[in-house]
């Protein structure tokens, strides 16, 4: 039994040892006000992360986008030129993720296209 208490005490000591730097960093963030600034910027950070590091979604290429939004090819090109649709460029043809098209999908629903 004594051996188990010593092991438990050592484990708790190790935990405290590893948590101390984290607690110091948290205290510094709180005192400097950086944590509040970070919290204020959180929506923009989330948007940036979702745009540049999306969850594994299937890629939608132009024919898929035309069908998904209920638009013609000419409308697609016009929306790209106007900056309303911003395709992702990688090796091969341009593509989108569904999350990239949320606003235009809402607009298509509003206009009765889909």
3-state secondary structure the chain: CHHHHHHHHHHHHHHHHHHHHHHHHHHHHHHHCHHHHHHHHHHHHHHHHHHHCCCCCCCECHHHHHHHHCCCHHHHHHHHHHCCCCCECCCCCCEECHHHHHHHHHHHHHCCCC
Instruction: Give tens-digit pLDDT for 12-63.
Output: 788 878 888 888 988 998 899 998 998 899 888 888 887 777 677 889 999 9
What pLDDT score was predicted for residue 76? 96
Instruction: Give tens-digit pLDDT for 68-114.
Output: 999 999 999 999 999 999 998 877 899 998 988 999 999 889 988 88
Domain limits of the chain?
Answer: 2-52, 62-110
Note the pTM of the prediction, 2 decimals. 0.51
Share of the chain above pLDDT 90, in %: 37
């Amino acid at each position: 039994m004594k051996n188990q208490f010593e092991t438990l005490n050592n484990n708790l000591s190790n935990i405290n040892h590893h948590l101390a730097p984290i607690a110091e960093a948290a205290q510094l963030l709180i005192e400097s006000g950086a944590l509040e600034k970070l919290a204020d910027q959180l929506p923009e950070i989330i948007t940036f992360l979702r745009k540049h590091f999306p969850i594994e979604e299937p890629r939608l290429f132009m024919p898929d986008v035309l069908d998904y939004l209920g638009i013609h090819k000419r409308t697609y090109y016009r929306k790209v030129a106007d900056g309303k649709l911003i395709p992702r460029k990688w090796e091969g043809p341009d593509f989108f993720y569904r999350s990239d098209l949320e606003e235009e999908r809402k607009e298509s629903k509003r206009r009765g296209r889909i």
